[in-house]
A and B are shown apart, each in its own frame.
Chain A
Amino acid sequence: MLRPLRAMFQPQDCPDLMVGIGCLDDAAVYRLDSERALIFTTDFFTPVVDDPYDYGAIAAANALSDVYAMGGAPLLALNLAAFPARLPAEILGQVLMGMADMVKQAGAVVAGGHTIQDEEPKVGLCVAGMVHPDKLLTKGGVQPGDQLVLTKPLGTGLITTAAKMDLADREDVDEAIQWMRRLNRAAGKTAADLDLRGGTDVTGFGLLGHAWEMAEASRVTLKVFFEAVPFMNGVVRYADQGLFPGGTASNYTAYSKRIHFAEYLNEDQKMLLFDAQTSGGLLLAVPQEKMGEFSNMMEFHGEKCWIIGEAVGREAGIQVI
């Protein structure tokens, strides 16, 4: 879809654009001077949960995540909202409050925004952040030998879909909401402090969709250990009931042929790795010699992380064992 635009905006005409539509990543990056680069990103979506405050908080955490996934820190945000006239204004107020609280928690500021009327609600943020131009975290920065680390468990696609159909346990939904509301701030800061180079966040394309983007951009083979991948409570049961959302099914259809799965993995297990995530964790490539320090720093921040695989070779590919 963006191909015609690439011809209009040639790299030589915008030499300070470090990441744009010519080399898509989690956000656009524009070099301001030798010390600073601007990270610029936006994301919005339809409701994933019932509670308006939670919906706003999740939408904000999700949008802010793109800045962390580029190795930066958010500076300011603009609200984007489409909202039906038939719903009371207080509901939108709660959504915006959820977003604002997360922006504040991220150490950034809400500086404005725009709301339009629409049948189905949609909210999100446009976020500007800052990073040192030499310290970008990109999909293309993975090196063979790096450990593959995930900072949130998988399953929000299955759980929110089960919840929409009234088939989910309340505790499972609450757990998923807590994970989705969690900022990737500590993970992003740890990645920046340790000078990591390879990373992205896990969202709509699922773990393996985003891992594939990294494998392709970095030209490495990623080996994923299924048993090491963390899942939220209830997820395996919802998978067994066939409650995978459309996004997960599309991911599977789009990517599964490019991925080499061990024969003992069943279809549900493969699908789980494609589950479309909302506000998922960071997927980071950590050089082996930094792994201990990475785990310690995450623990210090009160955050979890899981080593789910490693980069093993110089050919773009994914093996799941």
Chain B
Amino acid sequence: MNQTPESLLVDARGLSCPQPAILTRQAISQAAGRVLEILVDAIAQRDNVIRVAVKEGWSAVPEETADGRIRIRLTK
């Protein structure tokens, strides 16, 4: 996980379920007020990450990146 002061990036590309969802849960517990950005590369992973985030009370906005991957922006 790379960190910047205002956002926490989780690169879950190449990982299969449930790894991206588990990493998202960990990131949520360490977010400390920061925005989270989760990178995944398939729709099933995207949906799993969003499901976990929404359950924890976060809002999730997915967008497709230039290289065809998916970036999910999570805000509390």
- On chain B, the residues within 8 Å of A277 by CB distance are none
Q: Which of A248-269 contact B (CB under 8 A)?
A: 248-250, 252-253, 267-268
- CB of B16 within 8 A of chain A? yes
Q: In angstroms, how far is the closest chain A Cβ from the Cβ of B13?
A: 14
Q: In angstroms, how far is the closest chain B Cβ from the Cβ of A240?
A: 8
- Picked from B18, B24, B44, the residue with its CB within 8 Å of the CB of A243 is B18
A246 to B48, CA, bound (A): 9
- On chain B, the residues within 8 Å of A107 by CB distance are none
The interface size of chain B toward A, counting residues with CB under 8 Å, comes to 16
- CB of B21 within 8 A of chain A? yes
Known: A249-B48, A253-B43, A253-B44. A241 touches B25 (CB 8 A): yes
* Cβ-defined contact, A161 with B47, below 8 A: no
Render B1-32 as a binary contact track against A, CB cut-off 8 A, 1 for contact: 00000000000000011100110110000000
* Cβ-defined contact, B17 with A248, below 8 A: yes
- On chain B, the residues within 8 Å of A241 by CB distance are 22, 25
Q: In angstroms, how far is the closest chain A Cβ from the Cβ of B21?
A: 4
- On chain A, the residues within 8 Å of B52 by CB distance are 242
Known: A161-B18, A267-B54. A249 touches B25 (CB 8 A): no
Q: Which of B52-68 contact A (CB under 8 A)?
A: 52, 54-55
- CB of B69 within 8 A of chain A? no
* Cβ-defined contact, B25 with A244, below 8 A: no
A290 to B43, CA, bound (A): 43
- Picked from B16, B21, B44, the residue with its CB within 8 Å of the CB of A242 is B21
Cβ-closest chain B residue relative to A251: B44
Q: Which of A155-174 contact B (CB under 8 A)?
A: 161, 165
Q: In angstroms, how far is the closest chain A Cβ from the Cβ of B63?
A: 17
A242 to B18, CA, bound (A): 7
- On chain A, the residues within 8 Å of B16 by CB distance are 246
- On chain A, the residues within 8 Å of B55 by CB distance are 242, 267-268
Q: Which of A168-192 contact B (CB under 8 A)?
A: none
- On chain A, the residues within 8 Å of B43 by CB distance are 253
* Cβ-defined contact, B22 with A242, below 8 A: yes
- CB of A271 within 8 A of chain B? yes
* Cβ-defined contact, B21 with A244, below 8 A: yes
- On chain B, the residues within 8 Å of A22 by CB distance are none
- CB of B76 within 8 A of chain A? no
Render A221-248 as a binary contact track against B, CB cut-off 8 A, 1 for contact: 0000000000000000000011111101
- On chain B, the residues within 8 Å of A267 by CB distance are 51, 54-55
A248 to B48, CA, bound (A): 10
* Residues of chain B having any CB pair with chain A under 8 Å: 16-18, 21-22, 24-25, 43-45, 47-48, 51-52, 54-55
A sample of 13 inter-chain contacts (CB < 8 A) reads A161-B18, A165-B18, A165-B22, A241-B25, A244-B21, A246-B17, A246-B44, A249-B45, A250-B44, A253-B43, A253-B44, A267-B54, A268-B55
